Structure formats: C-alpha cells, structure tokens
Amino acid sequence: MKRLLSLATLYPNPHTPRFGTFVARSLEALAARGDWQVTVVNPIGVPPVAFGRYRALAAAAVDGTEHGVTVHRPRFSLIPKVGGRFNPRLIARAVLPLARRLHAEAPFDLVDAQFFYPDGPAAARIAGALGLPFAIKARGADISYFGKRAYPRRQMRHAANEAAGVLAVSRALADDMTALGLPGEKIAIHYTGLDRDLFRPLDRAESRRRLARHLGIDLPAGMPLLATVGALIPRKGQELVIRALPHLPGARLLLVGTGADRAKLAALAASLGVAGRVHFLGSLDHTLLPVVLSASDAMVLPSSSEGLANAWVEALACGCPLVITDAGGARELVTSDIAGRIVPRDPQAIAGAVAALLADPPQPSAVAATTERFSWQSHAATLAEYYDRLLKP
C-alpha cells in the first residue's frame, strides 16, 4: 500500500466541523479504496496569545482517526491580518518534526497540498526535507485571491515549478493558473466528488413540509423558493440575490452559511422591505442540505470567483437548477437550460433568470441527470491513478 502525507489547512476540526468538508470527503474516499493509506496534517494557526475565537480554535488542535483517516493537528504561530506572507514557512517549521517522525516510522511515498496557498509552498518545503515528490491542488479562492498578490504569487510559482504534479478543480481555473505564470503543462483537471446517496432529488412538497417544521416558517407548495449556499462574504454575492427579491414577488430566500456579512445582509433586506422573505439558516447539518435544495426552485449563487463549487454540483444532484455567474467552471456544469442559467452579477439579470426557471421549470430528474459523472468513488479513482503516475520514474 502506498502512503500519502496530505497537508490541508482547509479541513474540518472540532471548532469548525463544516470547514473544508469536501477536502475531508476527497481524502476519505481515497483512503477507502485500500491502495493508498492517507495521513492528514491539518495545521491550526493560533497567535502567541490565543484570544477571542482563537482560544476555541487552539482547543480544537487535537489528533485522531476520523472516518478512516489519521489526522494530526499541530499548532503553528499565526500573526493575524499581517502575517500571511510568513505562513508557509511557519507551517513547515511546525509540521516538519512531526513529518520526519512519521516518515521514519513508516515511509511516505508522496506529499500533497490541498490548497495552493499557504499549503503549496509549505508542502514544497516539507517534501524537499523528506526527499519526496509532491503535488498541489488549486480549488478557486487560493488562485483568485492569493494569485493577485505579489508575495504569495512568487511562492506559488516556485512551488508549482518544483511540484511533480498540479491539479485544478475546473478547466477554467487551470486557465487562470496558467495566466498567473504557473506551469500549464503540469496542470491536470480533477473535478469534485459527490455523495450520491445523500444528494438526490427528494419530493419537493414533503421537503417543504419538513423544512417548515424545522424552521418554524410557512412554505406553501406554490411559493417560489430560492436557496443560496455559501459563506456570507462579499465574493459569494448574497447581496445581489437580496436585491433581486423586490423583482420576484412572493419569492422567499433561504441563506445557508455563516460569515461576517450576516448583519449587513439583514439590514439590506430590511431596507428593501423583504426582511420577512429572507431566512438565515446558518451552518446546517449536511443531511439537511438536500432537503433545502430539493425544496427550492433554484439555487442562486452570483459569485465573483469560484473554482467549481461543490454547492453547484450538490444542488443539481438534488434536482435544483442553478442561477450562477460566469465564474470558474460554471460553463463546465451549466451546459443547457436544464441545468439553469448563467447571468451577469446584476440583480435584475438574476431576477430575470429566476423568473424564467419559475415559468418553465425543468424536471428534477432531468436536472439531477446532469451530474451523473460525479461521485466520490470516481473522484478517488481518478486521484489514485494520477498519484500513481507521479510515482513512476
């Protein structure tokens, strides 16, 4: 059995159990195959004096075996807001003693990084110290955010040039990476996976009744219902969806996610007179998300940037068409009107696309059929084959 050491700052922990769940599912699916043994190092950044939310985060730096994967959570020194350029070096310094010990006990074959920055440059340092090949995966925000900044971009280019392989979650993201000067000849496309047992079309009327009971709100069968799934941050565009509501009489919006923009979004809804039609659901248990998506007429996510959002694939798998912007791999998913609409980041354009879907809704089964190529099993098989190729001389 081959052994992988995976570095993942984007990974669930006891303090933020929904953070990076798609990374965990990917590595768990790889481990479940039986031909790769996976060890995850999930570094936890904590300032020298742990205050506020960092106190709880520090307490979450615990090791364990989670869904068949061994997870280590060493702490590294974090300088909030201004220390980003130093994080790869600080992570490598904190992780290397652990990595050396684990490698001495049972040698690894490959190191990977599950996010391009700071994970990628840190993994390059660790792999170099261990004398191992390494791979880096790009997911979206790591390229669109850090790639625009000089100090991470230099480190990302260096790490990519040293890497045995580089992965991107969509063709569009790979093009963005090449435009930043990352080596295009090394980039392979590796689409996300999907829990097909969990994300599937459920009866819409029953899903609405279940949600109404859970949320304590009225969701009659004929009411237009929209969902937006994502962190409440400007990049995801929830403000634009709320601004579209006045153009969609009677429509209600379910916002799934947490983030710094919650108060601002609530104030905006109140100022537009639609506060009674906007419901903040917070961070939902993953088993309730298919109920939200199956109950909804459309999943609306006008992001300014994405790789290939897991929320897009999960919505389609539940029979819920998309209204999204031309970000990342949008056109790799929305290839017909059955899957939804691609629109500008404009409230009226969003409202128009939603109205078109309400007037002529596609069958949920047809929408779900657009995701037939996605599963965690096929995702893991592709990853295993790719990593096997990296090890061949």
pLDDT in tens, 141-174: 999 999 999 999 999 999 999 999 999 999 999 9
> What single letter denotes the amino acid at residue 214?
H
Q: State whether residue 306 is helix, strand or coil.
A: coil
Cα 13 from Cα 20, distance rounded (Å) = 9
Residues 6+ apart with CB under 8 A from 314: 194, 199, 229, 289, 290, 293
Residue 107, pLDDT above cutoff 80: yes
Is there a common fold for 2-193+375-391 and 204-369?
A: yes
* CA dist., res. 151 & res. 68, Å (int): 37
79 pLDDT band, cuts 50/70/90, is: confident
For residue 206, give the DSSP letter. H
Query: What pTM did the predictor assign?
Result: 0.92
Mean pLDDT in residue range 31-52: 92
**Containing H/E element for 77?**
strand 75-77
Residue 266, classed as helix, strand or coil, is: helix
Classify domain 204-369 at the CATH class level: alpha beta
**Residues 114-145 pLDDT 10s:** 999 999 999 999 999 999 999 999 999 999 99
Bridge partners of 220? none
Give the contacts of 319 (CB within 8 A, at least 6 positions apart).
Answer: 201, 293, 294, 363, 364, 365, 367, 368
- Structure confidence at residue 53 (pLDDT): 81
Domain ranges of the chain: 2-193+375-391, 204-369
Instruction: Give alpha helix (H) positions in the chain.
Output: 21-33, 53-59, 87-105, 119-130, 141-144, 150-162, 171-179, 204-215, 238-244, 262-271, 289-295, 310-317, 330-333, 347-359, 364-369, 376-391
pLDDT in tens, 321-354: 999 999 999 999 999 999 999 999 999 999 999 9
Q: How far apart are CA 133 and CA 120, in angstroms?
A: 13
Give the pair of three-digit tokens for residue 38.
């996976």
- pLDDT-based confidence at residue 214 (cuts at 50, 70, 90): confident
The CATH code of domain 2-193+375-391 reads: 3.40.50.2000
